[in-house]
Amino acid sequence: MMRLAVRNLFQNRMRLLISVGGVALALMLILSLDAIVSWIEQRVAAYIEASGADVWVSQEGVRNLHMASSSLPADRVDEVAAVPGVESVTPILYVTNVVAMGEERAIAYIIGLPEGAQAGGPWNLVAGEVDPGPEGAVIDQGIAEKSGIGLGDHVEILGRAFEVVGLSGGTSTFTNSIAFIRGQDFSDLRANPGVVSFVLVRVEGGASATEVATRIEAEVEGVTAQTREAFAAQERQVVRDMSTDLLTIMNSVGFLIGLAVMGLTVYTSTLLRRGEHGVLKALGAQNRDLYLSVGLQALVSVGLGLAVGLAFTLLLGAVVPRLVSNLGLRVSLPSVGKAAIASVVFAVAAALLPIRQIHRLDPAMVFRGK
Amino acid sequence: MLVAHRNLTKEKTRLALSIGGVALAIMLVLILDGFQVGMYQQITSYLEHSPGSVVVAQDGVSNLLGATSLLPPGATSRVQEIEGVAKAVPILSQFVILDLHGKKQPAYLVGYSPELGGGPWEIVEGRQPRTDEEMVFDRVLARRHEIGVGDEVKVIDRTYRIVGLSSGTTSWMTSFFFLRKSAVEDLFRAPGATSFLLVEVQEGKSSEAVRDRISGLQGVEALLKSAMEANDSRLFARFFSAPVRLMAGIAFLIGVLVVGLVIYTATVERQREYGVLKALGARNRVLYGVVVVQAFWAALAGAALGILLAQGARLAIMSARPQFLIILEADMAGRAIVIGLGMGLLAALAPARAVAGLAPAEVFRR
C-alpha cells in the first residue's frame, strides 16, 4: 500500500508540483511573517546588546529604549559611579530624530557620547573614526551608501550640519539606524542641560551585573537599573506584544489556505484514481487500505510542502536583505515547529475529505468502464 | 463553452474547494490592502483633527510620529509675531511604552493646554484634564485593558488618573493619550519645552505664505499640515509596505496554484474527450478556449466570494480587535476581480500545455 501511495503521488509530476507548491506557499505565509517578526525582535535590541554595558540605568519606570524617553538629572551619574561593583559609567543622551542627507531623511537613534566613552559607541566601525569628536558624526554605512554620502561629507542632525567622520556597520534596524555624535553637541542643540538619558555601567571583573543593578536601584533615587540581558528582553517584548494579534490573524489565514489547498489536492487526486481504487476493491482491498494510501499521500505531500516552504523562506531570508535595506527574515525553531504541526493538521484533514468517496466506491464500477 | 461548463461543475466538492481557495487568497490580499489603508488613516488622525493648517517642528523634523521634535526656546513667541499667524498652539509630544497588565503598549503622549487646543477631539466619557495628575485615555485601549474613568495609569515614573476617554485616537500599533502640557514638561524634566506648534492662519491669509515666513526663522521647520500627514504615511509605508507586499505576493501565487490545480486535474481527467475533439478537427485554439473559460469562471467566482469573505473577516477582526481599522474601498473590489482573473489566466498555462501536447490519435490507441 505504501508503494502504491508513493507511486500514485509521483506519477503525475505536474499535480504533485502544484499541490506541494500550494502547501509550501500556505506554510510560507506562516513561516515568513514569523521570521520577519523574529528578525525585528533580534535587531531591535542590537544596540543594547552591542553597547558593551553590563547594566543600563534609566529614569525610574523607563524599561525600554525604542519609542521611549528617559531623562535623568546629571548628578545621578556620579551617584551611580559610587555604587560598589561599578567599574565605569558612561552617560549617554538619546533621542529618535532624523539624519538629513541632502534630500534624503532617515529616522535614527541619535546617541550623544561623552569624550572617551567606555560603552555605547559604534561597535563595528567600517571606516573612519569611532569617536565622533566635536561637530562630527558616525552614521550607518548602509544609510550613507544609499544617499551617496561618504567620509568628509556633511549631514544634518538635530538641525545642525555634522561632518561624517565614521561609518558603522550593523546599526540599521527595521525602523531606524543609529547615529553617534558628541554629547556636548547633543546637549547644545537640545537646550536641556543638566540631563542625561541613560547611564551605561560596566561592572568590575567578577561582580554580578544583577547584583550591581539591584544595588544601584537601592542606593540611587529615581532610577531603574537593568542588566543588559533584561533590558534587551524588554525591548524584544515590545515587538512581540505589538505583533501578537497581527501574527494570530495572518497565521489563521495561512492555516485556512493551507487546509483548502491540501484538501483540494487530496480530493482531486482521489477523484482521478477512482478507477484504480475500484480495481483494488474488486481485488479484495479493504476500505482502510485505501484510506491508508490516501493518508500516506497527504502526509508525503505536506512533508514535501513543509520542506519546500522552509527552503523558500530561508531563501527569502538571504535575498530580501539585499533588496530591502531595513528588512530581513530569521526563521526560528518554534516557528518551524508551528508550521510542522499545521502541516500534520492539513494532512489529516485532507485525508478525511475523500473518505465518503472511497466508502461509496463500488468495486463493480471498474467492470462497467467508469 | 458547454464542455468547459460541464468539466468545471461535474465535481461539486472540487469546484467548491477551488472557489474557496481562490476566495481565501483574494480575501487575504484585500484584508492586507484594507489594513494598510486603515493604518494610514489611523496614524494621520491626530493631525487631521488638530487645529491649524501649518505645523512648526524642530529644524530637520518633517513628521509627527517618526522623530522627537524639540523647538528652540522662544520659538512660540517668535512664530506668534509672524504676519498672518492667528494662533500658535504648542504641544509637547513623545512616544512612550506603557506597561499595562504585563503587556508592552507603545502609545503617543500628547501634552496640550486645554484652553488652547491640540488635545482629544472627541471625548466620549468624562472631561478634559484640569490638573497635572489627570489624563484623557484612548477608549479602545482602555477597554482592552479593562480600565476606565477613575482608574490610574502609570506613565514612566508618575501615576495619572483617567478623567476622560477619547474616541478616534487608536491604532493597532499605538494609541494617543493626553496630559496637560505642564505635566509632560515635568514628566520629561524639560520645563518650558515644546515639540510642535499647530498654527492657525488668519482668515484670508495663505497658509503657504505663512509657512514660508515661519521657515525663515532659525532652528525651525514649517510644513503644511497636509504635507506632514503625507510624510507620516510615507514613513509608515516604508516600514510596512515590504512585508505586506510579500504576504500579498504569496497569496496571489496560492490563488494561481489553486485554480491551476483544479483546471489541470479537470483537463487531465478529460484528456480522452479532448483527444476526440482534436480527432474531429477541433483546433488547439478551441481547446485553449475550453481551458481558459474554466479558469476564468473558477477565478471569477473565487474573487466574488473573496470580496464577501473579506468584508466578513474585516467586521470580525475589527469587532474582536478594535485597534485594527480595515478599510475596504470600492476600487479594491475591482482590483480583486482583476487579480482573480490574473490568477485564472496564469493558472490556465499548465493545463493548456497538456492540451496542446495531446496527440489526436491517442484516443484510438486506448
Q: Tell me the per-residue pLDDT of A225-254, one tens digit each, with 9 for 90 and over.
A: 999 999 999 989 888 887 777 777 777 777
Bridge partners of residue B196, in order along the sequence:
B91
Check if A319 contacts B (Cβ < 8 Å).
Answer: no
Same domain, A73 and A15: no
My answer on whether A23 and A107 are in the same domain is: no
Of A116-125, A289-298, B51-60, B129-138, the one with minimum mean pLDDT is: A289-298
Find the helix or strand (DSSP H, E) in which B199 lies.
Answer: strand B196-201
Show which of A221, A256, A280 is a domain's final residue.
Answer: A221
- A303 shares its domain with A355: yes
Q: Look at A36 and B188 and tell me if their CB atoms are within 8 Å.
A: no
Cell readout for B248 is 500579498
Q: What is the pLDDT of residue A2?
A: 66
Residues A339 and A269 in one domain: yes
Task: Determine the pLDDT at residue A18.
Answer: 72
Q: How many CB atoms lie within 10 A of CB A355?
A: 15
* Contact residues, chain B, for A64 at CB < 8 Å: 97, 104
A261, A347 Cβ separation under 8 angstroms: no
Instruction: Check pLDDT > 80 for residue B294.
Output: no
Residue A237 inside a domain? The answer is no
Same domain, A355 and A253: yes
Q: Are residues A81 and A216 in the same domain?
A: yes
Portion of chain A with pLDDT greater than 70, in percent: 91
What does the alpha-carbon distance between residue B178 and residue B110 come to, in Å, rounded to a whole number? Answer: 5
Q: What is the mean pLDDT of residues A173-183?
A: 88
Q: Which of residues 63-82 of A touch B (CB under 8 A)?
A: 63-64, 66-69, 71, 73
Q: Read off the C-alpha cell for B72.
A: 528652540
Q: Do A149 and A277 fall within a single domain?
A: no
A 113-152 residues with CB below 8 A of B? none
A129 and A160 in a single domain? The answer is yes
Tell me whether A103 touches chain B (CB under 8 Å). Answer: no
Q: Are residues A352 and A279 in the same domain?
A: yes
Residue B52 Cα, gap to closest chain A Cα (Å): 24
A273 pLDDT more than 80: no
Residue B63 to chain A, least CA–CA distance (Å): 10
Task: Identify whether residues A202 and A145 lie together within a single domain.
Answer: yes
Residue A159 structural domain: 61-221
Q: Which long-range contacts (CB under 8 A, 24 or more apart) does B146-154 make?
A: B147/B100, B149/B125, B153/B98, B153/B100, B154/A61, B154/B98, B154/B99
Lookup: cell for A104: 534624503
Q: Report CB contact under 8 Å: A98, B242.
A: no
Q: Are residues A148 and A202 in the same domain?
A: yes
For residue B308, name the pLDDT band (cuts at 50, 70, 90). very high
Overall average pLDDT of the B48-55 stretch: 94
What is the least distance, in Å, from the CA of B95 to any CA of chain A?
5
Asked whether the beta carbons of residue B68 and residue A97 sit closer than 8 angstroms, the reply is yes
C-alpha distances in Å from residue B191, one per residue of A50, A153, B205, B217: 33, 35, 33, 22
Task: Find how far residue B27's CA is from the centre of its chain.
Answer: 15
B110 DSSP β-pair partners: B93, B178
Residues 6+ away with beta carbon under 8 Å from B298: B8, B15, B18, B19, B22, B259, B262, B263, B344
Considering only alpha carbons, which residue of chain B is nearest residue A329?
B243
Instruction: Count CB-CB contacts under 10 A for residue B89.
Output: 22
| Cβ neighbours of A177 in B, within 8 Å | none
pLDDT of residue A366 exceeding 60, the answer is: no
Residue B62 and residue B68: Cα distance in Å, rounded?
Answer: 10
C-alpha cell read off for A237: 517584548
Is the pTM higher than 0.90? The answer reads no
| Residues 214-243 in A contacting B (C-alpha not used; CB under 8 Å) | 222, 234, 237-238, 240-242
Same domain membership, residue A296 and residue A201: no
Residue-level pLDDT at A370: 47
Last residue of one domain, picked from the residues A164, A187, A221 = A221
- The pLDDT value recorded for residue B4 is 64
CB contact under 8 A, B11 and A271: yes
Sequence ranges of the domains in chain B = 2-43+235-365, 72-218
End-of-domain residue from the set A188, A221, A254: A221
Q: How confident is the model at residue A278 (pLDDT cuts 50, 70, 90)?
A: confident
The CB-side HSE value for A160 (13 A sphere, CA atoms) comes to 17
More confident residue, A89 or B359: A89
C-alpha angle A370/B6/B10, rounded to 5°?
55
Per-residue pLDDT band for A192 (boundaries 50, 70, 90) equals low
Is the pLDDT reported for residue B167 higher than 80?
A: yes
| Highest-scoring range by mean pLDDT, A79-93, A332-346, B19-33, B162-176 | A79-93
Residue A120 lies in a domain: yes
Mean pLDDT confidence for B255-260: 73
Residue A233 lies in a domain: no
**CA A55 – CA A202 distance, rounded (Å):** 7
Comparing A97 with A175, the larger pLDDT belongs to A97
| Mean pLDDT, range A185-195, rounded to an integer | 80
- Unique residue bearing C-alpha cell 527574515: A329
Question: Is A226 contained in some domain?
Answer: no
Query: Please, what is the end-to-end C-alpha distance for chain B in angstroms?
Result: 26
Does residue A122 fall inside a structural domain? yes
Predicted pLDDT of residue B2: 65
Q: Is the pLDDT of residue B363 over 60?
A: no
Question: Among A211-215, A300-304, A330-334, B237-241, which is the least confidently predicted range?
Answer: B237-241
A241/B105 Cβ within 8 A: yes
Q: Percentage of chain B surpassing pLDDT 70?
A: 91
Q: How confident is the model at residue B365 (pLDDT cuts 50, 70, 90)?
A: low
Q: Using a CB–CB cutoff of 8 Å, tell me whether A253 touches chain B.
A: yes
How far is the CA of A209 from the CAs of A47, A202, A206, B282, B327, in angstroms?
A: 18, 8, 9, 82, 49
Cα(B166)–Cα(B140) distance, rounded to whole angstroms?
Answer: 9
For residue A173, the surrounding DSSP H or E stretch is: none
Residue A234, in any domain of the structure: no
Question: Is pLDDT of B142 > 70?
Answer: yes
Which amino acid type is present at position A325?
S
Is the model more confident about A53 or about B262?
A53
Torsion of the alpha carbons at A323, A326, A331 and A335, rounded to the nearest 10:
-130
B205-215 residue pLDDT tens: 999 999 999 99
In terms of Cα–Cα distance, which of A350, A355, A339, A357 is closest to A260? A350
Test mutation, B257, B270, B309, chain A, max A CBs within 10 A: B257
Decide if B237 contacts B41 (C-beta within 8 A): no
Q: Indicate left, alpha or beta for B116 from its phi (over 0: left) and psi (-120 to 50: alpha).
A: alpha
Residue B366, pLDDT > 60, answer no
Least confident range from A198-202, B144-148, B256-260: namely B256-260
How much is the average pLDDT of A28-46? 84
Provide the pLDDT confidence category of residue A347 given band limits of 50, 70 and 90: confident
Number of domains making up chain A: 2
Averaged pLDDT of chain A: 85
Name the β-bridge partners of B364: none
Chain mean pLDDT for chain B: 85
Give the least confident one: A45-54, A262-271, B189-198: A262-271
- Distance from C-alpha of A316 to C-alpha of A325, rounded to nearest angstrom: 14
Q: Is the pLDDT of residue B277 over 80?
A: no
Q: Does A341 touch chain B (CB under 8 A)?
A: no
Average pLDDT on A194-206 reads: 93
Mean pLDDT, rounded, for A258-280: 72
